[in-house]
């Protein structure tokens, strides 16, 4: 079985961006900004950055592994 890195879920990133934007706008609009709101926005931003870093790191690692396999197959075939 070949390992497959799925990138066909971009709608999740779009939805996540919309929700984060809506939370930020509600933070600016709602009176009596409670402590929960003020902690949620930076926490959500940090979690999204971490999630993005994790995704792109593994995305590029997957490409690197596949390129190394192709290069190995070329070198073995050339021998």
Tokens of 69: 């396999």
Query: Does any domain span residue 3?
Result: no
* pTM for the predicted model, two decimal places: 0.55
Query: Does any domain span residue 73?
Result: yes
Query: Does any domain span residue 33?
Result: yes
Query: Does any domain span residue 5?
Result: no
Q: Which pLDDT score is estimated for 68?
A: 92
> pLDDT-derived band of residue 4, with 50, 70 and 90 as boundaries?
low
Query: Does any domain span residue 69?
Result: yes
| Residue 32, phi-psi category: left (phi > 0), alpha (psi -120 to 50), beta (remainder) | left
CA dihedral 49, 54, 60, 64 (to 10 degrees): 150
Query: Does any domain span residue 2?
Result: no
Q: What tens digit of pLDDT does each residue of 6-60 get? A: 667 777 778 878 887 887 777 777 776 666 666 677 777 788 888 888 888 888 8
Query: Does any domain span residue 14?
Result: yes
Give me the long-range contacts of 70-73 (CB less than 8 A, separation at least 24). Answer: none
Query: Does any domain span residue 59?
Result: yes
Reference 5, options 62, 78, 44; nearest CA is 62
Domain that holds residue 69: 10-78
């Amino acid at each position: 079985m070949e390992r497959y890195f799925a990138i066909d879920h971009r709608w999740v990133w779009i939805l996540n961006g919309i929700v984060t934007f809506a939370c930020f706008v509600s933070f600016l609009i709602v009176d009596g900004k409670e402590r929960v709101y003020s902690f949620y926005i930076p926490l959500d931003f940090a979690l999204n950055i971490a999630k993005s870093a994790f995704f792109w790191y593994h995305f590029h690692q997957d490409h690197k592994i596949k390129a190394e396999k192709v290069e190995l197959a070329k070198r073995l075939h050339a021998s």
